[in-house]
């Protein structure tokens, strides 16, 4: 299971990230430089539930790599 936290305001994505992590999933957060609004990703990163912090241009590649590793 993979969760992605993208550009957004507030903290509403954090609870979902915590649930995914609690069930053995991985979280990818959008980095501050590529996010229009860093509030949501920043909140998740601050709670240390994010495994990878990446620019938006690299997130899909990481998801593909995770899926590939999981299918081996």
What ranges do the domains of the chain cover?
A: 2-70
Prediction pTM value: 0.88
Cα atoms found within 13 Å of the Cα of residue 2, Cβ hemisphere only: 17
Q: Which helix (H) or strand (E) holds 39?
A: helix 39-46
pLDDT above 80 (res 72): no
Helix (H, G, I), strand (E, B) or coil at 28: strand
pLDDT band at 71 (very low <50, low <70, confident <90, very high): confident
Asked if 53 and 45 count as a contact pair (C-beta separation under 8 A), the reply is yes
With both helix axes pointing from N to C terminus, report the angle between 12-22 and 39-46 in degrees, rounded to the nearest 10: 40
């Amino acid at each position: 299971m993979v969760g992605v936290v993208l550009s957004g305001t507030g903290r509403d994505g954090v609870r979902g990230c915590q649930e995914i992590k609690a069930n053995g999933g991985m979280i990818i957060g959008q980095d501050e430089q590529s996010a229009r609004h860093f509030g949501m990703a920043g909140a998740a990163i601050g709670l240390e539930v994010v495994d990878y912090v990446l620019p938006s241009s690299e997130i899909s590649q990481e998801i593909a790599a995770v899926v590939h590793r999981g299918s081996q």
